[in-house]
Chain A
Amino acid sequence: MKRTLSFNGFNLVNGFIMILVVLFTLYPFIYLVAQSFSSEAAIYAGKVSFFPVEFTTQTYEVILSKPDFFRYYGNTILYSVLGTFIAVSATAVISYPLSKAKLRLNKFFIPFVLFTMYFGGGLIPNYILVAKTLGMRDTIWAIVIPGAISAFNVILMKTFFANLPNELEEAGRVDGLGVFGIFTKITIPLSKPILATITLFVIVGMWNNWFGPSLFLQSKEKWPIALYLKQIIDNAVSPAEIGAASEQTGQIAASVKSTAMVLTSLPIICLYPFVQRYFVQGMMIGAVKG
């Protein structure tokens, strides 16, 4: 009897702790959304906590009526799509031979890739290489190429390839497929789960990428949304340009900042619940090896 009681007691405490964690995690989002639908006066007076106060959709109307916002959004989409395509294909191509135990030179190539996980060139040499030596400054290439292959993603994909049943490749060979045919017609179609995982890892990274573009993109018309958002948060855009100055502070209104943050993270938040399992899956494959 006593045991059952302590059981329920524990479940109660545990449930309570979990509710606290959920609230702690969600509150900043709730606050941002509440702020984005509130009037500036109410925000300034500190009245907004959980729900919009003096509900208005005006801030959204102002931001969405600006062509700027869509242009930066479009750039982000372009960088994400192209960057992800390059990254995923390059990762698949390098991981395939590395997954083959019969290749004796992998003894050399695998450490060659893995070493880059523990030591990197550092900020300044990377900057000089990309911006000056390769002359990629202010081009899309500086955003989509330097980070294309990561050793971690290679480990994930190589592990997946190595665990595919060998018989299927054998069958392809019997049907007269060459090395390249086996890779594109058999291995790749069988690897959809890992391709999905890595695509998602890369696409989220590209979507959220701020530092790379801030380092390499000078022309404002090439900016991704993250860079523009940073300017809004820092009050570095003139309030007139964004079209919503706060009457109280003369700076960009807090509601504008929240609205811009909500609009930028919206695609990730909407997509996330449906693809979460791929991320978890990816981490688990990595863990077995890592």
Chain B
Amino acid sequence: MAAHAHDNVVDTSPLWKHVRKEWKLYSFLIIPVIYFIIFKYAPMIGNIIAFRKYRGGPNILGSDWVGFRYFEMFMKDPTFWRAFFNDLTLSVSYLVVKFPLTLIFALLLNEIRWMKWKKFVQTVSYLPHFISMVIVAGMVKEMVSLSGPINAFLAWLGHEPTSFISLPEWFSSIYVTSGIWQSLGWGTILYLAAMTAINTELYEAARIDGASRFRLALHVTIPGILPTVMVLLILDIGSILGSNFEKILLLYNPLTYETADVISTYVYRMGITGGNFSYATAVGLFEGIIGLILVTIANEISKRTTKSSLW
């Protein structure tokens, strides 16, 4: 910011004068702001159909107010609660596995001294992040299919073939493992970036004190990247009710709804497939608000304990 010192001169003129002076720059904002109003804020307002009896059609206001009726309805709906707990279970299982693995993988990558090999491992491990969800789901189905390699391996060990994709008890394992496959490498980028920003003098000083490589990682690297760790954790906690909608939609089937149906897929089936727009919107709004509350709480906690936060 120092380079823009003259930008920081406090402008004390009245606001209308300021806008008139800078109108050319402000005019850049007109179309994008209209875009934000229509495509980001209007749908937020569109959530009022959760409180109205909307029957379809372009006008969301041509219907009667029903208050919290739809909220009361889903609160009494066991399918909603099943989706709610599945959402929690899937996200928490994924987070609990992903978080430590990503951190460990980043620390191990950081220890590689042969740069070409490091580059190669990074390039390979980032790749799945760019593969379309349709293909990821297709791959998963091929991997676990009856004639696929996992069953072939199990057969070699003497097990009967298992149709993993249609068994509810296997869904969370499939979800978590494929999630790790997709994000293990990409998830390390921000940690590695934070590691390069650590002052090398800290390492020198610790090395002079005779610290081993393990101690360096424990006492210099980890504290150095702690703010990044916290911010990523906040983001993850905020999305704890937002399991990967697209992936679940592509992987689940009626046989596995019992463990695989989450809030967003439930909203999709009720609203888009079933046409119960108001009901589905009420469920979706509930999910969105819980998410916002969770991010806010996690952010506050982080701000107080580690002084790093999103806003």
Interface residues of A (CB under 8 A from B): 3, 6-7, 10-11, 14-15, 17-18, 21-22, 24-28, 31-32, 35, 43-46, 48-49, 90, 93-94, 96-98, 100-105, 109, 112-114, 116, 118-129, 132-135, 145-146, 148-149, 162, 165-166, 178-180, 183, 204, 207-211, 215, 226, 229-230, 233, 254, 257-258, 261, 264-265, 268-269, 272-273, 276, 279-280, 283-284, 287, 290
Chain B 1-16 interface residues, beta-carbon cutoff 8 Å to A: 1, 3-4, 6-8, 11, 15
A31–B149 touching, CB < 8 Å: yes
Q: Which chain A residue lies CB-closest to B152? A: A46
Q: How far is the CA of A28 from the CA of B150 in the complex (A)?
A: 11
Please, what's the 1-or-0 string for B117-131, where 1 marks a CB less than 8 Å from any CB in chain A? 100110111111011
Q: Which chain A residue lies CB-closest to B4? A: A166
Residues of A within 8 A of B288 (CB): 119-120, 122
Please, what's the 1-or-0 string for B172-193, where 1 marks a CB less than 8 Å from any CB in chain A? 0000000001001100011001
B60–A14 touching, CB < 8 Å: no
Q: Which chain A residue lies CB-closest to B129? A: A279
Candidates B49, B131, B138, B287; contact of A268 at CB < 8 Å: B131
Q: Which chain A residue lies CB-closest to B310? A: A290
Residues of B within 8 A of A97 (CB): 25-26, 28-29
The 9 closest A-B CB pairs, nearest first, are: A121-B43, A125-B46, A208-B132, A94-B32, A122-B284, A125-B43, A179-B24, A101-B7, A233-B138
Q: How far is the CA of A127 from the CA of B278 in the complex (A)?
A: 12
B40–A121 touching, CB < 8 Å: yes
Residues of B within 8 A of A210 (CB): 132-134, 246, 250
Q: How far is the CA of A279 from the CA of B281 in the complex (A)?
A: 35
Residues of B within 8 A of A179 (CB): 24-25
B147–A254 touching, CB < 8 Å: yes
A24–B40 touching, CB < 8 Å: no
13 A-B pairs besides A14-B108, A125-B49 with CB distance below 8 A are: A3-B212, A6-B212, A22-B125, A26-B124, A90-B31, A109-B29, A121-B43, A125-B47, A178-B24, A208-B131, A233-B138, A265-B131, A276-B123
Q: How far is the CA of A102 from the CA of B8 in the complex (A)?
A: 7
B29–A145 touching, CB < 8 Å: no
Q: How far is the CA of A27 from the CA of B123 in the complex (A)?
A: 15
Residues of A within 8 A of B4 (CB): 101, 162, 166
14 contacts across the A-B interface (CB closer than 8 A): A32-B139, A46-B148, A118-B291, A121-B40, A121-B41, A122-B284, A124-B271, A124-B277, A125-B42, A146-B39, A183-B28, A208-B133, A229-B135, A290-B310
Candidates A27, A31, A264; contact of B135 at CB < 8 Å: A264
B43–A129 touching, CB < 8 Å: yes
Q: Which chain A residue lies CB-closest to B37? A: A112
> What's the least CB distance linking B25 to chain A, in Å?
5
B46–A102 touching, CB < 8 Å: no
Q: How far is the CA of A28 from the CA of B42 in the complex (A)?
A: 42
If A25-B181, A127-B272 touch, does A100 touch B25 (CB 8 Å cutoff)? yes
Would you call the interface of chain B mostly helix, strand, loop, or mixed? helix
Please, what's the 1-or-0 string for B92-133, where 1 marks a CB less than 8 Å from any CB in chain A? 000000000000010011011100010011011111101111
Q: How far is the CA of A272 from the CA of B151 in the complex (A)?
A: 31
> What's the least CB distance linking B121 to chain A, in Å?
5
B28–A93 touching, CB < 8 Å: yes
Query: B226 at the A/B interface (Cβ < 8 Å)?
Result: no
> What's the least CB distance linking B207 to chain A, in Å?
12
A128–B277 touching, CB < 8 Å: yes
Size category, B interface:
35 or more
Give the one of B31, B46, B143, B231 with max A CB within 10 A: B46
Q: How far is the CA of A54 from the CA of B36 in the complex (A)?
A: 55
Candidates B15, B108, B132; contact of A264 at CB < 8 Å: B132
Q: How far is the CA of A105 from the CA of B250 in the complex (A)?
A: 43
A261–B139 touching, CB < 8 Å: yes
> What's the least CB distance linking A180 to chain B, in Å?
7
B32–A149 touching, CB < 8 Å: yes
B310–A18 touching, CB < 8 Å: no
B147–A120 touching, CB < 8 Å: no
Q: Which chain B residue lies CB-closest to A44? A: B147
B264–A123 touching, CB < 8 Å: yes
Residues of A within 8 A of B132 (CB): 207-210, 226, 264-265, 268
> What's the least CB distance linking A59 to chain B, in Å?
14
A123–B268 touching, CB < 8 Å: yes
A102–B310 touching, CB < 8 Å: no
Residues of B within 8 A of A28 (CB): 139, 142-143, 181
B117–A125 touching, CB < 8 Å: no
Candidates A101, A128, A257, A269; contact of B138 at CB < 8 Å: A257
B29–A94 touching, CB < 8 Å: yes
Q: How far is the CA of A272 from the CA of B122 in the complex (A)?
A: 12
Q: How far is the CA of A268 from the CA of B109 in the complex (A)?
A: 25
Q: Which chain B residue lies CB-closest to A17? A: B108
Give the one of B31, B126, B149, B310 with max A CB within 10 A: B149
